[in-house]
């Protein structure tokens, strides 16, 4: 079946098999290896991508479901000139990763949270991120990184409101 969708801000069209998962299509056909496969049962968050701005487990999400939708992977977060998204930079600043396997899914889940509510509390961060597991870092660096990105995004939000 042929599907059309937006991938990281650009129109895309692919021939897929109805049984293929979004993770399989993104990794094998689109060569976007930031999408990780781990549990393949929707419990670890390593395969998290955004579909129309919401986090989904790409390991169990069927690719045909992205017809006419927007898909964002970790590769699509940086600005066109290559400037990192505030979350990507914050994860670097706070060493919020070790092996990096879970990091793309963590960042994308956190982006969805901050897009929804930039004035988020620590408790809300912890609850929202509970579906993303990390076996290496502990979670303090991740929490600090999301807090930093939230503060930066609040400042940008305030600037944009004052100029409009």
The residue ranges of DSSP E strands in the chain, in sequence order, are 2-7, 10-15, 48-51, 54-57, 70-72
Task: Compute, in degrees rounded to 10, the torsion defined by CA atoms 96, 137, 104, 25.
Answer: 170
Q: Whole-angstrom Cα distance, residue 164 to residue 30? A: 38
Burial class (CB in 10 A: 0-12, 13-18, 19+), 153: buried
For the stretch 135-153, pLDDT in tens is: 887 789 999 999 999 999 8
Q: Which two tokens stand for residue 37?
A: 């496969």
Structural domain boundaries, residue 130: 86-158
81 lies in some domain: no
Q: Among 54, 76, 98, identify where a domain stops.
A: 76
Q: Among 76, 99, 124, identify where a domain stops.
A: 76
Q: What is the pLDDT of residue 33?
A: 96
Is pLDDT at 60 greater than 70 in this prediction? yes
């Amino acid at each position: 079946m042929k599907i059309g969708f937006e991938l990281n801000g650009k129109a895309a069209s692919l021939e897929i098999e109805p049984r293929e998962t979004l993770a399989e299509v993104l990794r094998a056909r689109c060569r976007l290896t930031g999408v990780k496969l781990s549990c393949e049962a929707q419990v670890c968050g390593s395969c998290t991508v955004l579909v129309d701005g919401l986090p989904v487990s790409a390991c169990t999400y069927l690719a045909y479901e992205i017809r006419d939708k927007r898909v964002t992977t970790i590769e699509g977060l940086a600005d066109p000139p290559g400037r990192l998204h505030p979350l990507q930079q914050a994860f670097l600043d706070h060493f919020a990763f070790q092996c990096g396997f879970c990091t793309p899914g963590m960042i994308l889940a956190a982006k969805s949270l901050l897009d929804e509510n930039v004035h988020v509390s620590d408790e809300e961060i912890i609850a929202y991120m509970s579906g993303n597991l990390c076996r290496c870092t502990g979670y303090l660096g991740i929490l600090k990184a999301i807090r930093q990105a939230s503060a930066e995004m609040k400042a940008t939000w305030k600037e944009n409101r004052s100029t409009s």
